[in-house]
Amino acid sequence: MDSSLPPQGDGGNRAQQVAAGALAIVFVALGVYTLWNFLGALAWAGIFAIALWPLYDRALARFGNGRPNVLWPSVLTLSVALIFILPLGFVGLQFARESHAVTDWLRDAQQNGIAEPDMLRHLPFGQGELDDWWQQNLADPGSVGDFLRRTASGHVADLGRTLGEQVIRRLTLFVFTLLTLFFLFKDGHLLTRQMRRAAAHTFGPGGERVARQIIASVRGTVNGLVLVGLGEGVLLGVVYAVAGVPQPTVLGALTAVAAMIPFGGPIVFSLAALLLAAQDAIVWAIVVLAIGLVVTFLADHFVRPVLIGGATKLPFIWVLLGILGGVEMWGLLGLFLGPAIMAALILLWREWAGEPGETA
């Protein structure tokens, strides 16, 4: 044995552990910095994978002999892509069709001015000031042209360039999300086993419990926000069509998206009611507003608390705070990250307090 080697004691082992931990932290920080612009795409892919994993497992068990393959990851990834591409394509076609009408309307407004709606002439207050402003800026053909030039001057080119950059960036992130989602499905069983062993090795039994709570929170939030929001959009879209709201399909789709955010749905169906009121359909405007308030009230106070709170074992006030705080800090991604973070924190608090069975 070489006597020149220093003896390895507990101090040497601890030094090696500290050095290995520091090296791991450095490489994790470098990895996060490298992928910083793609972290959102990775998070979205993880949310989709968690939400759809039970469906993927059932498909594998029934049609794939329970073994991972390429077919079902491809099918589910393509399905997620179509869920986004088809509605966006439909809305884009609708806007393209309406662009000719908008162009004709702008040309007519510059030639003949814009008539003041009758509804504005019967306002209970502020009618005189609004009428004067309308006559000065919109009623006369020349004033309409000046008003449009003042409003759009210097902004159209910047808006177009910014919009083009954002579209390219979002499209790139969407493609990267789909690519990540495919590999999460394909290698998900292996990744799950590795993460369970890593959590048990690092945090003990509590690590897996927290992970299970986060997974349950994400699935419950997807059911409570996405499915309920889509249901609200379908119901109110039918109401829009019956009431005669312009472009009911587009407004129904916007309602579905807005309804996924608490208190977001009323913005869209209030806009639909205003469009009806501008057409002097006051009764239908009141009907749309009333039905929208009833549907939103039932969804937010009865359906969502059961779907989200039941899955996360959280009082709905914490779910609501997680959603609103998550949206404030993380954007749309916070719809799902916020409740998951709250669920993990509450679970850790219950275990630390020694009362894991508490629900409030």
In the chain, where the domains are located? 37-186, 204-360
Q: Which residues contact 198 (CB under 8 A, 6 or more apart)?
A: none
Least confident of 100-104, 216-220, 284-288: 100-104
The tokens for 273 are 């009611």
pTM of the model: 0.69
Interval 143-181: pLDDT, tens: 666 665 655 554 555 656 676 777 788 888 899 999 999
Residue 115 has a pLDDT of 66
Q: Distances in Å between the alpha carbon of 126 and those of 132, 136, 137?
A: 10, 16, 17
Residue 360 has a pLDDT of 38
Residue pair 113/141 in contact by the 8 Å Cβ criterion: yes
Residue 10 has a pLDDT of 58
The tokens for 182 are 């495919």
- C-alpha span between 218 and 342 (Å, rounded): 11
Q: Which residues contact 126 (CB under 8 A, 6 or more apart)?
A: none
- Half-sphere exposure at residue 221, Cβ-oriented, CA atoms within 13 angstroms: 33
The tokens for 226 are 């996405």
Residue 108 has a pLDDT of 67
- C-alpha span between 212 and 210 (Å, rounded): 5
- C-alpha span between 306 and 319 (Å, rounded): 11
In DSSP notation, 8-45 reads --HHHHHHHHHHHHHHHHHHHHHHHHHTGGGHHHHHHH
**Quick one: CA torsion of 40, 46, 47, 48, rounded to 10 degrees?**
110
The percentage of the chain sitting over the pLDDT mark of 70, rounded to a whole number, equals: 72
Interval 316-325: pLDDT, tens: 778 778 888 8
- Half-sphere exposure at residue 162, Cβ-oriented, CA atoms within 13 angstroms: 5
Place of tokens 């759009």: 152
**Residue of 182 and 108 predicted with greater confidence:** 182
- C-alpha span between 75 and 64 (Å, rounded): 13
- C-alpha span between 166 and 360 (Å, rounded): 42
In DSSP notation, 263-287 reads TTHHHHHHHHHHHHHHTT-HHHHHH
**Residue of 184 and 133 predicted with greater confidence:** 184
